[in-house]
Amino acid sequence: MRRECHPLLSGGRARESKHNHGLSPAEMDSLASLCETILPSLPPPVTTLDGKQHQPTKAVQALYRASGSQTPMPDEIAELLRKRGLPEAVFLVRLVLWLLSTRLGTFLLCGSLCFGEKWLCIKNFSSISLDKREKVLQKWFKRRQPDSKSPFLHPANLCRNVSWLRSINSSVGQNGDNPAWEAIEYCAGTDENPDQVPKERPLQKGLIHTNQETDSTLLRSLTEKGLEVTRDPRRNLCKIKCDVVIVGSGCGGGVAAAVLAASGQKVVVLEKGNYFTATDYSGLEGPSLAQLYESGGLLTSADAGVIIMAGSAVGGGSVVNWSASIKTPNSVLQEWTKNQKIPVFGSPEYLSAMDTVSCGALLTPPLMISSGLKNQNIGRNLHLHPVLMAWGYFPESNSEFKGKVYDGGIITAVHEVVAGDSNVRAIVETPGLGPASFSVLCPWVSGHDMKNRMMKYSRTAHLITIIRDSGSGKVTTEGRISYNLDASDRDNLKVGLRQALRILVAAGAVEVGTHRSDGQRIKCRGIKKRIWRNFWTQFMLPGGLCHRKRTGCFTPQPIKWGAAGWGLMKKKVLLMRMEKVGKQKACSFVTLVFCQVPWVLIQ
C-alpha cells in the first residue's frame, strides 16, 4: 500500500466516461490500428533451463499480451491530441488518420505494403496484417522529414508515447499499483519514512485558489491576506492595490517576490500551476508529468526538433529539477565579467555565496508582448541546454553492481568533459528516468524489441550529456518555440555522448546504445576495434534531439538572459533592469538570492 499523496498526483481518479476528442469513427479505427502496431499483443517468451521449458510469470505474460488498441488507450490519445496539440498539428494528424482509413490514402502513405493477396487489391491501414503495418512504421521512423519528428506531427509517435506511458505507469489500481511493474521489476514506492517527510506547507498561509472561490469569497480572501480590494460591478472585476504583481512563481518570479517582500513591498504573485509539497508526491509518472510539467511534458519547438521539459507548478523548474547543483565554470564567469561587462560575476561575494538561477524564459516574452511591449528583441536569444542520452545494459548475473536503476541517490556524481584548453565542452550526469519516460524515450524498432527492452528496464542505466549551447531560439507566443543548434553545439554533443558511452562500457555494460531513431546499439564483448571505431564515428545529430530546459533554484546553468530581454543594445545588467520601451517602463528580474519571505500567491 502506497502512502497518502495529493489526489491530482495519485493517478487513481476515475477517467472520463465520455470523450470529446471529435475524431470520426474512421479516424479512430486508424488510430487504434497504429496503437496496436506500436504495442502489439505478443506470445510470452519461454525460457529453457536444464533442458526444460519454463513459462514466465503471470505478470510477464500480461505485459507481452497487452495491446495498445485496448480501451481506452486510443480515446485517451485522441483526447491528449485535442488538449495538447497545436491547431495545425491536430489538422495534420487527423488528415493522416483519414488518409489511412481509405485505400488510396493508405497506398500513398504505405506504398506496396498495402497490397493484398489478390492482384491490385489495395487495403486500408487497419486491414493490413500486423507484420506489414510494423514494416510501414519502421520506414516512417527512419525517414528524415518534418512530419516524423513530433508526437503531434506524426500519429505513430503519439501512439507510442501514450500507449507505453499509460500501460507502464499511468494506469494504476486502487492500491496505487500497476501489473506491469512486477514484470519489469519496478517499485514506485518511496524508501523514505513517512514520519520523516516534512509536513510543513510554508506558502499555505498566503495561498488563494481562485478556481475554488466565488465572487464574494474571493473578495474576502484577498482582504484577509492584507490586500486592499475594490469591486467594479460594471466591469465585473476586482481591483487589487499592491506594489508589485509578479506572473510566475519559479526561480525568477519567486526569488523576486521574496526580495521585494523583504524590502517592505506588497507583492502579489500569479501562478497557473498547483502547489505541492513533500507529502503530496506519489512517484507516479503519468499524473506527475501532467501536473508538474508544461503541457504535460510534451512541449516541443515549432519544428518538433526539441522536447522541452519545463516545470509548471508553484516553484517552477525548481520543483522538477533533481537537485543537481553545479558551480558555474570559470571560463563562463570570465566571459560574463570581461565580454559582457558584468563585474559582479568576478567578485569575491559572488564566488563565495552565489549559485545561478534563471527566470521564466518560455513564458515571460509572450507576457511582455501581450502587455503591449513592441521591441523586436523580446523573445530572442533563448538558450535551452540541449541533452542527449546514452544507455548501457548491466545484467545482474554478469555485473558487480547490484540493485535496480531507481535505487540509491538521485545523483551522486557529475563528470566534466574537458577540451585541450581546459574549457568544459559538456557535462555527464545520471538522469532520474522512470519506466514510462524510459519507454517513451527509447527508439521504437519493433513491438517485440520494445517489450524486450522494457523487461531490461531495471538494469538499464542511462547517462545524459549536457552542453552550454551557442545556438539560440526564439519564443514570442505561448507554446510556439523555435530553436536551432549551431555547429559547435553539435560537436560538443557528440563529444559528450562518446564520453558517456565510454563510461558505460568501462563500467561493464554488455550492450550500449543511443536514442537515435533507428535504435543504434552495439554489443560490448568480443567486438573488434574496427567495429568500435565505426560505431564511434556514426553519431549523427539530425532533427528530433531530446532537449531539456533546465531551470530551478539550484540548477547548474547560466542565466537565460536573452528571451526576456528587450534592450536595443546587448547590454545585460544584474539583478534588476529598468528600461524604456517607447513610452513604457518595464522591469526584468534576474536574481541570484533566495529568501524565505511570505508573500501572497494567487492561483
Judge if 155 and 304 occupy the same domain: no
Last-in-domain residue among 153, 183, 213: 183
Asked if residue 482 belongs to a known ligand binding site, the reply is: no
Output the CA–CA distances (angstroms, integers) from residue 496 to 331, 412, 499, in the order listed.
Answer: 18, 19, 5
Asked if residue 546 belongs to a known ligand binding site, the reply is: no
One-letter amino acid identity for 581? V
**What three-state secondary structure class fits 265?**
coil
* Structural domain boundaries enclosing 414: 288-537
| In-domain check, residue 235 | no
| In-domain check, residue 370 | yes
Cβ–Cβ under 8 Å, residues 280 and 315: no
Position 166 scores a pLDDT of 54
Last-in-domain residue among 537, 572, 598: 537
Asked if residue 5 belongs to a known ligand binding site, the reply is: no
Give me the half-sphere count of Cα atoms (radius 13 Å) on the Cβ side of residue 388.
Answer: 31
Asked if residue 508 belongs to a known ligand binding site, the reply is: no
For residue 173, give the DSSP letter. Answer: -
pLDDT digits (tens, 9 = 90+) for 402-438: 888 888 777 777 888 887 766 788 889 888 888 888 8
Asked if residue 244 belongs to a known ligand binding site, the reply is: yes
Asked if residue 110 belongs to a known ligand binding site, the reply is: no
Output the CA–CA distances (angstroms, integers) from residue 198 to 203, 251, 277, 506, in the order listed.
Answer: 14, 21, 8, 39
Asked if residue 246 belongs to a known ligand binding site, the reply is: yes
**What three-state secondary structure class fits 209?**
coil
| In-domain check, residue 493 | yes
Cβ–Cβ under 8 Å, residues 548 and 324: no
Asked if residue 248 belongs to a known ligand binding site, the reply is: yes
Position 545 scores a pLDDT of 38
Judge if 362 and 504 occupy the same domain: yes
| In-domain check, residue 238 | no
Output the CA–CA distances (angstroms, integers) from residue 175 to 8, 264, 406, in the order listed.
Answer: 15, 48, 21
| Exposure b/e, 178-217, CB count within 10 A at least 16 = b | bebbbbbbbebeeeeeeeeeeeeeebeebbbeeeeeeeee
pLDDT digits (tens, 9 = 90+) for 279-291: 888 888 888 888 8
Asked if residue 243 belongs to a known ligand binding site, the reply is: yes
Last-in-domain residue among 133, 163, 183: 183
Asked if residue 445 belongs to a known ligand binding site, the reply is: no
pTM for the whole structure:
0.77
Judge if 311 and 164 occupy the same domain: no
Asked if residue 255 belongs to a known ligand binding site, the reply is: yes
Asked if residue 250 belongs to a known ligand binding site, the reply is: yes
* Residue 249 buriedness (CB in 10 A; 0-12 / 13-18 / 19+): buried
Output the CA–CA distances (angstroms, integers) from residue 361 to 84, 562, 563, in the order listed.
Answer: 20, 8, 6
| In-domain check, residue 314 | yes
Asked if residue 573 belongs to a known ligand binding site, the reply is: no
- CA–CA separation, 81 and 75 (whole Å): 10
Q: Which of the residues in the chain have pLDDT under 70?
A: 1-3, 11-17, 143-176, 189-197, 303-305, 322-327, 351-364, 366-369, 371, 373, 377, 421-422, 539-603
- CA–CA separation, 260 and 258 (whole Å): 6
Among 436, 419, 429, smallest CA distance to 321 is for 429
Judge if 372 and 490 occupy the same domain: yes
Position 163 scores a pLDDT of 53
Number of domains observed in the structure of the chain: 2
| In-domain check, residue 361 | yes
Q: In this structure, is the dihedral angle defined by the CA atoms of residues 451, 306, 90 and 96, taken in order, positive or negative? A: negative
Position 361 scores a pLDDT of 63
Long-range contacts of 581-586 (CB under 8 A, 24+ apart): 581/373, 581/374, 581/375, 582/374, 584/372, 584/373, 586/368, 586/373
pLDDT digits (tens, 9 = 90+) for 98-133: 999 999 999 999 999 999 887 778 999 999 999 999
Asked if residue 136 belongs to a known ligand binding site, the reply is: no
